[in-house]
Amino acid sequence: MKPLNDVKVLVVDDNAQILDLLMKGLTPHCDAIAAADGADALLRIVDDPPDLILCDYRMPGLDGRQLYEKLRARQQTKQIPFMFLASRSDVEEKLRPIIEGAEEFVVKPFLLKDLVRRTKKVIDRLHLEKLQKRAVRPGVIQGRLEEMSILDLMQSLEMGQKSCRLTIRHGDDTCEMFFASGQCADAQLGAFEGEAAVFEVVRWPAGDFEIDFNSAPGRTTISRTTTGLLMEALRLVDEGQRDAPTEGVETAG
């Protein structure tokens, strides 16, 4: 399956079954590459640095923390985002107190869907950064909702604390959303404005988007945080699906 974007993620785990599971979960969302242990990972990283590293902590030989420290000591690799997989005790006692700058600590055991969801948030943010570097116009990036959904876009802008105008086009409809430090402050979609406009646009499955980092909100029509806004939008979508009539079902009279 071809991933929707070109973010390269190196997945490191000495347990072959877990490594295979992680690869299957992440491959649809990124260019996932497997490494069987820390030494294998180090060689791959030096040869071709990835955009993100998802690494188990306890491994024979070169463990996750040692790999992290080696990469932070090299100028070419010290900025690569790093996610640890570790037990709760290892996270609290051996990693969090001494590791600065790790992207995430994922506690084992974990549900694959939860790990994929958390990793995808980082992947989406990195994808936006790549689009920004390739922008034809300074400070303006463009893409399709098939690559990044509206939910993914809004979460990425919140995580990156971005200020910008997000324009989304679907058929003849256009929605403009304005963000200040990652928080959605204003939205307009035809007669809809504020939260109502966001609740309409999150239903769009396809379309084009443009992010202009040269623009900032001129007014505030939304009081919720971006996370709160998305949670309410998802609740309304779910509620609408439950209340939708079932076609082709006859009821006894």
Instruction: Read off the pLDDT of residues 161-203 as tens digits, 9 standing for 90 and up.
Output: 899 999 999 999 999 999 999 999 999 999 999 999 999 999 9
Is 227 among the domain residues? yes
Instruction: Read off the pLDDT of residues 42-52 as tens digits, 9 standing for 90 and up.
Output: 999 988 999 99
Last residue of a domain, one of 127, 150, 182: 127
- Residue from 112, 131, 116, 115 nearest 5 by CA: 131
**3-state class (DSSP) for residue 231:** helix
Task: Specify whether 122 is located in the same domain as 153.
Answer: no
Domain containing 13: what range?
Answer: 8-127
Last residue of a domain, one of 127, 155, 172: 127
Write down the number of H helices and E strands in the chain: 8, 11
- From 9-13, 88-92, 229-233, the region with the lowest mean pLDDT: 88-92
- The reported pLDDT for the residue numbered 15 is 94
Mean pLDDT along residues 87-104: 81
Instruction: Read off the pLDDT of residues 57-93 as tens digits, 9 standing for 90 and up.
Output: 999 999 999 999 999 998 989 999 999 989 898 888 7
- The reported pLDDT for the residue numbered 53 is 97
Query: Residue 243 has which token pair?
Result: 């209340």
Please give the residue that has the higher pLDDT: either 172 or 100: 172
- The reported pLDDT for the residue numbered 245 is 58
Q: Strand runs (DSSP E) across the chain, as ranges?
A: 8-12, 31-35, 52-56, 82-87, 104-108, 140-144, 164-170, 173-180, 183-189, 192-193, 208-212
Is 201 among the domain residues? yes
Interacting residues of 18 by C-beta distance below 8 A, sequence separation 6+: 56
Domain of 33: which CATH number? 3.40.50.2300
Looking at the predicted structure, is the pLDDT value of residue 249 above 60?
no
Is 178 among the domain residues? yes
| Arithmetic mean of pLDDT over the chain | 88
Q: Please give the tally of structural domains in the chain.
A: 2
Is 212 among the domain residues? yes
Task: Specify whether 12 is located in the same domain as 85.
Answer: yes
Do 85 and 102 touch, CB atoms closer than 8 A?
no
Task: Specify whether 225 is located in the same domain as 163.
Answer: yes
- Residue 165's φ and ψ, nearest 5 degrees, are -110, 125
Task: Specify whether 166 is located in the same domain as 211.
Answer: yes
Is 253 among the domain residues? no
Is 248 among the domain residues? no
Task: Specify whether 26 is located in the same domain as 119.
Answer: yes
